[in-house]
Amino acid sequence: MTTPIVVTPDPKTDLVLERNIDVPVELVWKAWTTPEHLKHWFVPRPWTIAKVELDLRPGGMCSTTMRSPEGQEFPNVGIYLEVIPNRRLVFTDVLQPGWRPSENPFFVAVLDLEATGPGSTHYVATARHRDGEARNKHEEMGFHDGWGTVVTQLVEYIKAKM
């Protein structure tokens, strides 16, 4: 089994959402790594996901297109850096497919999962930014409310559909 790299959040540059959720880690992983599932919960409603393309391997593309209630589309393209099934998923927009540098990098996302029982998961999502200004911008955009809402939607989706 691969051991995840230790990621210690820096409060000056990182934002963290941590929850204990009452769904199995395997289903959380599946919801995060299957396009058909991801599009149902990944953005706070009434926003939606218009397109998803995932190539689940280091260097593989991670692409989602968010759609606003008004119909505007916002593509987010990056790559996976670390993929440890049922344990850790790291992706970024700092690099694009083909390991090309991004013109406007924003953050690296680290999702850590740990089974805490037969039907429960310790869920930690960390958004790592290049500096405090980018961190603060993400927080002002609604990181805590938005990512918190998404976790709630994830749990609801898993319980209803998976």
Domain holding 129: CATH number?
Answer: 3.30.530.20
Of 27, 9, 31, the closest CA to residue 109 belongs to 9
Of 4, 11, 5, the closest CA to residue 129 belongs to 11
- The span from the CA of 6 to the CA of 133, in Å, is 24
Q: What is the pLDDT of residues 32-51, one digit of tens each?
A: 999 999 999 999 999 999 99
Q: Is residue 44 part of a domain?
A: yes
Q: Is residue 2 part of a domain?
A: no
Distances (CA, A) of 71 to 34, 38, 39, 53, 65: 24, 19, 16, 20, 11
The alpha carbon of 122 is separated from its chain's Cα centroid by a whole number of angstroms, namely: 15
Q: Is residue 79 part of a domain?
A: yes
Q: Is residue 147 part of a domain?
A: yes
The end-to-end CA distance of the chain, in Å, is 26
Indicate if the pLDDT at residue 6 is higher than 90. Answer: no
Total count of domains within the chain? 1
Indicate if the pLDDT at residue 1 is higher than 80. Answer: no
Q: Is residue 142 part of a domain?
A: yes
Structure tokens at 57: 């391997």
Structure tokens at 60: 């593989």
Determine the average pLDDT of the residues in 134-160: 97
At residue 5 the predicted structure's pLDDT band, cuts being 50, 70 and 90, is: confident
Q: Is residue 6 part of a domain?
A: no
Q: Is the pTM of this model over 0.85?
A: yes
Host domain of residue 27: 14-161
Mean pLDDT, the chain, integer: 96
Q: Is residue 9 part of a domain?
A: no
Whether 114 and 97 have beta carbons less than 8 Å apart is answered as no
Q: Is residue 98 part of a domain?
A: yes
